[in-house]
Amino acid sequence: MIRGRVALLIGLALAGAQAGHLLAYQARFGAAAPQLQSSGAHAYFPAEVKTALGVAALMLLASLLLIAVARTAARGVRIRMVEGPSYLNLLATLFTVQLICFVAQEVVESVVAGVPIASATTLMLWGTIGQLPAAALLAAALRSLWSRVEEAIGQLREVAPAWRPMLVSAPVAFVPIRSEDGARWTESRSPQSRRGPPHSS
């Protein structure tokens, strides 16, 4: 369960990093940002952004669907919930992963393009400008859904045994067959033993 939560946070942070990348370039380059982010070493970026945002939207829809199914199938079932992570913890985790991802992207893009790598101060400044708002919005959305998804999973686990089909097993009796009985049965089934009336000429 813990591994699943960590994987979820990392996946959402990677998706949020691309949104923060858009914000950082928009704040830094203004109207020229779209062209810069779709040419040269950044040519991969538009497709990556679409994929990341699409995955994030799919995860959101899956969470909402899970909550809806649990409310329908487990109506009236109440479980003891464990308090989810705080907003600040989510924000700190998401922002840290997103900022690392942004800096790594910028360094790799500079190496591929053959241009000098920006200073650490510049990368941290523009990374913070872009990633902090994206992480804040993502943390707020995740915080509001976290406990509801946990509750939905717990409710479905409670009602899952009732959905399992009843397995009915009928007793089977094994009757030993003696060798002579088996020989008689085989002989009775052979073509030579099936003799009919003689054919008239």
Whether 74 contacts 156, CB under 8 Å: yes
- pLDDT for 13-43, tens place per residue? 888 898 899 899 889 888 888 887 778 777 8
pLDDT of residue 35: 83
Under a CB-based contact definition with an 8 Å cutoff, are residues 127 and 17 in contact?
no
Mean per-residue pLDDT for 80-105? Answer: 86
Other CB atoms within 10 Å distance of the CB of residue 19 = 21
CA distance linking residue 41 with residue 86, whole number of Å? 38
101 phi and psi angles, rounded to 5 deg: -65, -40
Domain boundaries, the chain: 2-163
Yes or no: say if 25 and 134 are a contact pair by the CB < 8 Å rule.
no
Q: What is the pLDDT of residues 105-128, one digit of tens each?
A: 999 988 988 889 999 999 999 999
In this structure, of 44-48, 87-91, 167-171, the range with the lowest mean pLDDT score is 167-171
Instruction: Please give the DSSP secondary-structure letter assigned to residue 37.
Output: T
**Average pLDDT value for residue range 142-160:** 75
180 vs 135: which has the higher pLDDT: 135
Answer whether residue 169 shows pLDDT above 50: no
pLDDT band at 130 (very low <50, low <70, confident <90, very high): very high
- pLDDT for 112 equals 87
In terms of Cα–Cα distance, which of 71, 76, 87 is closest to 146? 87
- pLDDT at position 102: 93
